[in-house]
Amino acid sequence: MNKFCTFGLLLFSINAFSCSDLLDTDMRILDSAETKNLCEYEGKALLVVNVASRCGYTYQYAGLQKLYESYKDEDFLVIGIPSRDFLQEYSDESDVAEFCSTEYGVDFPMFSTVKVRGKKAHPFYKKLTAETGVTPSWNFNKYLISKDGKVISTYGSKVKPDSQELIAAIESIL
């Protein structure tokens, strides 16, 4: 094996093992056939939120978008993951995408509608639950993940995106 192949193999090996197990998950992008491995976001602080378009907390989209805009240049991302577990999300993903875009100007990453609770939960949510012991009890449950892919804290639906508690936690890991 020549030295270039050896170097390439070494780089591949380093990259293959650098992502946290939590983030090493493929998710489909909302209203698309394209998938993304969440390892692409390693090195960024993440606020993962199970969202719904027809919920009493749907107004939080505006605050989530503002958080994203305020901190995105500091390697911070909001990730929205729609769920129908609480029967408050559109059944058609194109409706979800249009609603988020037109009503709230959402341009942070949004992924496909998945289950976030129970035996049929998406593997990413199973990992979140295993790491934290917290399963979403309603829409707009939040998981704050550090730049190295570890869950820092969880926040229930009632914790608004502009709450001092959440903002202080985000700023502490940026």
CB atoms within 10 A of CB 41: 20
b/e code 28-40 from CB counts within 10 Å (16+ = b): bebbeeeeeebbe
In this structure, are residues 106 and 100 in contact, taking their beta carbons and an 8 Å threshold? Answer: yes
Q: What confidence tier does 18 reach under pLDDT thresholds 50, 70, 90?
A: confident
pLDDT at 11 over 50: no
The per-residue pLDDT for range 27-37, each reduced to its tens digit, is: 999 999 999 99
Q: Which residues contact 37 (CB under 8 A, 6 or more apart)?
A: 19, 23, 24, 25, 26, 27
pTM exceeding 0.95: no
pLDDT at 133 over 50: yes
Structural domains for the chain: 20-173 (3.40.30.10)
The per-residue pLDDT for range 140-172, each reduced to its tens digit, is: 999 999 999 999 999 999 999 999 999 999 999
In this structure, are residues 99 and 91 in contact, taking their beta carbons and an 8 Å threshold? Answer: no
The per-residue pLDDT for range 69-103, each reduced to its tens digit, is: 999 999 999 999 999 999 999 899 999 999 999 99
Q: Which residues are catalytic?
A: 55
| First and final C-alpha spacing in the chain | 42
Q: What confidence tier does 111 reach under pLDDT thresholds 50, 70, 90?
A: very high
Mean local confidence (pLDDT), 48-55:
96
Half-sphere exposure of 32 (CA within 13 A, CB side): 12
Say which residue, 137 or 14, is predicted with more confidence. 137
pLDDT at 15 over 80: no
Mean local confidence (pLDDT), 129-148:
96
